[in-house]
Amino acid sequence: MDQERNPDSPDLSDRGRNGSVASFEAVPTLLKEGLDPVYEGKAQTLNTAVQDIGMGKYQWQLFLIVGGFGWASDNLWPIVTSLILPAITSEFSPSQPPLLSLAQNIGLLAGAIFWGFGCDIFGRRLAFNMTVGITAVFGLIAAGSPNFAAIGIFACFWSVGVGGNLPVDSAIFLEFLPGSHQYLLTILSVFWAFAQLLANLVAWPLLGYHTCSSTATTCTKSENFGWRYFMIAMGGLSFIMWCCRFFVFHLYESPKFLMGRGKDEDAVAVVHEVARRNHTTSPLTLADLQIHNRENESQGTDAAAVLKRRLEKVNLSHVRSLFATPKLAWSTTCIMTIWAFIGLGFPLYNSFLPYIQQTRGADFGDGSIYITYRNSLIISVLGVPGALLGGLLVEVPRFGRKGALALSTALTGVFLFASTTAVTSNALLGWNCAYNFMSNVMYAVLYAYTPEIFPTKDRGTGNALTATANRVFGIMAPIVAIYANLETAAPVYVSGALFIAAGVLALALPFESRGKASL
């Protein structure tokens, strides 16, 4: 393409289709403080180009692939681990059952760090195509585990893939999403809730009817094949997801990622290809991006300059960018702390929920395997309307992202505290339903808000930092469970307090991202 700007082409830096000014603010002022002005100008141009294309076929396909596979897997596999824990405990009689959750969380941490940071270095597309495949392979292998140590190792390995889903998929989806449709990041959490529902639907007949009784004194492999059938079903489902990603849907590399790597021509080509897939056109030209370079030195093209840029990819520049100013540092620290508190509070209760239900149910006189998994299914149903409500709240001016996050997170903790008052199995079920409903509202908002506050060039790193904080504290959950004893209310109190603290901290976040397009 011609390097000079075509005077007949529309100025895309601040105008959309038919020359109308974009109806959304380009980016919060807070985020501009840490941005390279050249990058900022190009990002705004690409934002307007994507808005000009609109929400079309490609974005809706990506919505289904990212949500139905990435978001779903992120919740599906931790739920799988919690659902098989009672059956595995019966068969292998481990001295510390929470160690299975510990192995899982170590894998989730490794995956969040590797894929989150890595997608800012080697691109979104490779990570997108690998994460679900890794999960499927080790999930299927885990079905043949001969002992507790083996299932723990495989849980760690499949979680390496799971840990990369949200950091990578949220970055991909946001970077192809028109600013007018960023609320769809919240709606993606419906898939997160559906995954929980699906896992429980499959687990009820397989684990409910092919698992040793909770009162059995011995439990052999032949009597306890349900969890193996369940692993094969979930691993097979993930394999189908991977096939759809790899062979059916063609993901284009993010235009903003390409632009951030100095590949302006490739970025423009992707925009036009997305427009073609959407049966429309884009007036974007290479000159529309490169006009921002006029007052700045161009990147070197000699071998030494190329080597230097490659070496720069492995330094901490992406991390430093997220702490470049006091406000940006406070924003990054706050969101990381919120993720950390939730990272400890959520698995401390949710990962052991079937185990808690079974042990508490036994105290109430109805702790059968059938009742345990039936109740898990009922609880999971409430997650779907919760995710939908989260999608509505974030667009309500009186709430916005911050208000919805603070309210839903604090109420999640309140319902956990209330569950300790249950004196019957039905009362415990009711409080757990309320908890699950509100926690899905919380996650819907949190998953939308988090990637919105990071610029594209550092988004993978920002997502990785929050995911890492979440996973590091998640590793602490089974350790707390071991020493606090799951058969007492102590873990529930700790979990509830952490959610309430996270809700209060959400009010201290420095800005509201509602109605603003991401950079």
Could you tell me the domains of the chain?
57-252+320-506 (1.20.1250.20)
Residue 363, classed as helix, strand or coil, is helix
Residue 283 is encoded by which pair of tokens? Answer: 């007036």
Backbone phi, then psi, for 25, in 5-degree steps? -70, 140
pLDDT of residue 307 exceeding 80, the answer is no
Task: State percent of the chain over pLDDT 90.
Answer: 23
Q: What's the DSSP call for residue 212?
A: -
> Residue 517: which H helix or E strand, with range?
none
Other CB atoms within a 10 A radius of the CB of residue 367 amount to 18
What is the crossing angle of helices 383-393 and 425-452, to 10°?
Answer: 40
Residue 469 is encoded by which pair of tokens? Answer: 């904080």
Other CB atoms within a 10 A radius of the CB of residue 447 amount to 21
Question: According to the model, what pLDDT value does residue 154 have?
Answer: 96
Residue 207 is encoded by which pair of tokens? Answer: 């684990």
* Pure H helices in 485-517: 490-506
pLDDT of residue 516 exceeding 60, the answer is no
Question: According to the model, what pLDDT value does residue 503 have?
Answer: 93
* C-alpha separations of 310 from 39, 257, 314 in Å: 18, 15, 8
What torsion, rounded to 10 degrees, do the Cα atoms 369, 373, 374, 378 define?
Answer: 150
- The predicted-structure confidence for 34-55, as pLDDT tens digits, reads as follows 456 777 788 888 888 988 898 8
Which of 179-188, 285-294, 338-347 is modeled with the greatest confidence?
338-347
From start to end of 114-247, where are the E strands?
A: none
Per the model's pLDDT, the better-predicted residue between 227 and 27 turns out to be 227
Residues, the chain, total?
Answer: 519
Residues 85 and 165: their CA atoms lie apart, in Å, by 23
Per the model's pLDDT, the better-predicted residue between 305 and 414 turns out to be 414
- The predicted-structure confidence for 138-183, as pLDDT tens digits, reads as follows 999 999 999 999 999 999 999 999 988 877 887 788 888 887 787 7
What is the crossing angle of helices 425-452 and 165-175, to 10°?
Answer: 50
Looking at residue 52, its amino acid is D
Q: Is the sign of the CA dihedral 456, 460, 461, 466 positive or negative? A: positive
Region 431-448: mean pLDDT is 87
> Residue 189: which H helix or E strand, with range?
helix 189-209
Residues 170 and 334: their CA atoms lie apart, in Å, by 19
Question: According to the model, what pLDDT value does residue 21 have?
Answer: 34
This model's pTM is above 0.85: no
Q: What's the DSSP call for residue 350?
A: H
- The predicted-structure confidence for 352-368, as pLDDT tens digits, reads as follows 666 666 666 555 555 56
Q: How many CA atoms lie within 13 A of 68 on its CB side?
A: 13
For the chain, first and last CA: distance in Å? Answer: 25
Region 195-220: mean pLDDT is 81
Contacts 24+ apart (CB under 8 A), 288-295: 288/5, 288/9, 288/11, 288/12, 288/13, 288/45, 288/49, 289/42, 289/45, 289/46, 289/259, 289/264, 290/3, 290/5, 290/264, 291/5, 292/37, 292/38, 292/41, 292/42, 292/45, 293/38
Question: According to the model, what pLDDT value does residue 61 have?
Answer: 92
Residues 54 and 48: their CA atoms lie apart, in Å, by 10
